[in-house]
């Protein structure tokens, strides 16, 4: 087992974080979290659906447990997230009669939600992913055609940041998205952030989720993205890092009968090389990067085990299913 944690190896660089649920707060994964990391992100517990299931009812239990664990173990907390098109509660976009809410009603609900959640954790959550994944997947489009967009136009983005800033003026506020290194998406994320900065919206950073694979991003793509976002004077964090052993889009299918989903030595080698490259670049961008967070603790459980389809095991993290460091771990800490 490693004598030091990722947080120790990277002490002179940036905090190293991990996404957790309540299940990881006890047992061997909890021990690993305490040994290796100095930041945590609730994987689901602070999202609007889980934390605000009905208009007049909040469910704080899970998020409180994670924040209390962080305080007891001196971990910083990244809040995730205040506005997303997924995991929204059923009541949010509807009036009592089932019709769609007006923009005024939706913005009022957004305001009430953000101020309740951000104020509850004021001083305990140092940074928030305020708006998550608002850019469209289709490169021909700009903003995602979500219910937020359909009801509010583009205004909901600036409003969310303003509400969060009003609730906790000291919190660092992030825009967070995936595939942010692909040139066509990079340009659109940049455009959004530039618009927000120009309009003096309180946005302080950009989160690059980092759901990456053995193929992408390439080193030039990663550097180009970090350069471009840094040019806006924003803090940059890698917020949801994992390296899938399957290609991101080319292989969205279930495991076929008889097909292996084993973690072969060749996959381990390729993954270690990819992680090594990523962290070499991260170290080079020490003055820009203010955090790197992994999305889940060990290969025992990853969201990628069920995405895009269930029944195919993935091995995207630095620790194996028994919480032991993998080849990729040693590549990341040898420099
Ligand atoms: O809690 C319910 C449970 O009560 C229910 O019985 C069960 C049946 O489906 O679902 C459970 O909720 C699941 C939830 O995770 C908690 O386990 C949801 O179905 C499932 O969709 C949800 O997945 C999460 C996903 O966001 C939501 O789209 C993943 O755990 C989480 O890792 C993932 O995280 C996202 C980031 O927030 C944003 N960036 C992408 C990233 C990966 O998709």
Q: What ipTM does this complex have? A: 0.94
Q: Count how many Cα atoms sit within 13 Å of the Cα of residue 216 in the half-sphere of its side chain.
A: 13
For a pocket test of ligand 1, which of 44, 146, 212 has the largest count of ligand atoms closer than 8 A to its C-beta? 44
Among the options 240, 259, 266, 331, which is catalytic?
Answer: 240
Q: For the packed helices 219-230 and 265-284, what is the interaxial angle rounded to 10 degrees?
A: 30
- Res 307: pLDDT: 87
Angle at 285 between CA 200 and CA 197, to 5 degrees: 10
List the one residue out of 146, 143, 47, 149 whose CA is nearest residue 88. 47
Spatial CB neighbours of 203, under 8 Å, sequence gap ≥ 6: 130, 161, 173, 174, 175, 193, 196, 197, 234
Residue 248 has pLDDT above 80, yes or no: no
Residue of the CA atom closest to atom 15 of ligand 1? 44
Distance 44 CA to ligand 1 centre (A): 6
Q: Tell me the average pLDDT across 303-325.
A: 92
Tokens 């890698």 label which residue? 238
Spatial CB neighbours of 182, under 8 Å, sequence gap ≥ 6: 216, 217, 221
Give residue ranges with CB within 6 A of ligand 1. Answer: 43-44, 86-87, 132, 209, 240, 303
Cα–Cα distance, 11 to 16 (Å, whole number): 9
Average pLDDT in the chain? 96
State how far the alpha carbon of 77 is from the alpha carbons of 74, 148, 163, in Å.
10, 27, 20
Q: Count how many Cα atoms sit within 13 Å of the Cα of residue 121 in the half-sphere of its side chain.
A: 33
Q: Count how many Cα atoms sit within 13 Å of the Cα of residue 236 in the half-sphere of its side chain.
A: 26
CB 239 within 8 A of CB 205: no
Distance 309 CA to ligand 1 centre (A): 13
Distance 71 CA to ligand 1 centre (A): 25
CB 193 within 8 A of CB 157: no
Residue of the CA atom closest to atom 16 of ligand 1? 44
Ligand 1 atom closest to the CA of 81, numbered from 1? 37
pLDDT band at 311 (very low <50, low <70, confident <90, very high): confident
Cα–Cα distance, 214 to 196 (Å, whole number): 33
Residue 258 has pLDDT above 80, yes or no: no
**Residue 208 in tokens:** 């690059």
Tell me, yes or no, if 29 is annotated catalytic.
Answer: no
Looking at residue 136, the DSSP 8-state letter turns out to be -
**pTM for the complete prediction?**
0.97
Burial of 6 (0-12, 13-18, 19+ CB in 10 A): buried
Cα–Cα distance, 39 to 322 (Å, whole number): 21
141 by DSSP, 3-state: which? coil
For a pocket test of ligand 1, which of 42, 131, 206, 303 has the largest count of ligand atoms closer than 8 A to its C-beta? 303
Distance 89 CA to ligand 1 centre (A): 13
**Length in residues, the chain:** 335
For a pocket test of ligand 1, which of 19, 43, 244, 317 has the largest count of ligand atoms closer than 8 A to its C-beta? 43
37 by DSSP, 3-state: which? coil
Ligand 1 atom closest to the CA of 47, numbered from 1? 37
More confident residue, 307 or 266: 266
Distance 11 CA to ligand 1 centre (A): 31
Residue 250 has pLDDT above 70, yes or no: no
């Amino acid at each position: 087992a490693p004598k030091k944690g990722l947080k120790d190896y990277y002490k002179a660089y940036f905090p190293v974080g991990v996404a957790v649920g309540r299940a990881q707060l006890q047992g061997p994964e909890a021990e690993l979290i305490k040994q290796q990391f100095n930041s945590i992100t609730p994987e689901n517990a602070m999202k609007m659906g889980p934390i605000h299931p009905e208009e007049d009812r909040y469910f704080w239990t899970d998020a409180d447990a994670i924040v209390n664990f962080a305080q007891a173990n001196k971990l910083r907390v990244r809040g995730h997230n205040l506005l997303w098109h997924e995991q929204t509660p059923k009541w949010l976009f509807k009036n009592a009669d089932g019709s769609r809410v007006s923009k005024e009603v939706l913005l009022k609900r957004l305001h009430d939600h953000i101020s309740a959640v951000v104020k509850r954790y004021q001083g305990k959550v140092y940074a928030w992913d305020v708006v998550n994944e608002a850019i469209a997947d289709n490169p021909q489009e700009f903003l995602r055609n979500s219910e937020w967009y359909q009801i509010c136009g583009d205004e909901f983005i600036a409003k969310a940041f303003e509400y969060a800033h009003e609730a906790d003026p000291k919190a660092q506020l992030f825009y967070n998205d995936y595939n942010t290194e692909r040139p066509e998406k990079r340009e659109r994320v940049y455009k959004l952030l530039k618009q927000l900065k120009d309009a003096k919206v309180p946005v302080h950073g950009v989160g690059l989720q980092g759901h990456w694979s053995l193929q992408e991003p390439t080193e030039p793509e990663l550097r180009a993205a970090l350069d471009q976002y840094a040019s806006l004077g924003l803090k940059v964090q890698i917020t949801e890092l994992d390296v899938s052993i399957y290609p991101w889009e080319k292989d969205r299918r279930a495991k076929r009968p008889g097909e292996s989903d084993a973690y072969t030595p060749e996959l381990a080698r390729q993954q270690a090389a990819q992680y090594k490259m990523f962290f070499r670049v991260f170290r080079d961008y020490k003055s820009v990067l203010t955090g790197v967070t992994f999305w889940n603790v060990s290969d025992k459980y990853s969201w990628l085990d069920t995405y895009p389809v269930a029944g195919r095991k993935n091995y995207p993290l630095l620790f194996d299913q028994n919480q032991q460091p993998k080849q990729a771990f040693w590549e990341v800490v040898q420099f």
